[in-house]
Homo-oligomer: A and B are copies of this chain.
């Protein structure tokens, strides 16, 4: 039987993923070299190849973990909503807040997901895209429960994508630690869903 991995092995992989996400977000997957990532980790390229077989393996593990984490958020929100007896609107609003808080912490991973999924080989790309579709489906489900009259079959996709549009590109303009927090922005998104641009 193979000797077990060092206790620090998993921790080191997570460090690599954090640094790689930064490099990918700043330079893009193709422009970021293994040497760049190694430098960011304070190690050598050869050491990097001890932990991951290839640059693409780093990208896949990064996106795999991140998208799995997003699905966990959906499940946790459903559990919390049931336990606290939230109604359908409050459940959707909790989901929006939960995702925006996550996005504030995961900006670099999120950029990699949006920009670099295309650089995976087809089979791995499909795994990530399927997971993204599952997240979209969850939001559609929450929206349909919260706003059943508006969420007709023909409107389900465009209205879901409108909500994703409001949430998914906050990293392009909203700075963590600025005057408006991601939590504040979540409340603005929820208000706009509730009554559009009408006055308060």
A interface list, Cβ under 8 A from B: 26-31, 115, 118-119, 143, 146-147, 149-151, 154-155, 157-159, 161-162, 164-170, 172-174, 179-180, 184-185, 188-189, 192-200
Contact = CB atoms under 8 A, between A and B. Distances in A.
A198 B147 CA distance: 7
The DSSP consensus for interface residues of chain A is helix
A197 B161 contact: no
20 contacts: A27-B118, A28-B28, A28-B29, A28-B30, A28-B115, A30-B31, A31-B119, A147-B199, A149-B200, A150-B198, A155-B188, A158-B174, A158-B184, A159-B197, A161-B170, A162-B192, A164-B169, A169-B169, A192-B196, A194-B197
A188 B166 contact: no
A98 to B, nearest CB: 18
A23 to B, nearest CB: 13
Number of copies: 2
A185 B165 CA distance: 13
Contacts of A166: 162, 165-166
A196 B193 contact: yes
B28 A118 contact: yes
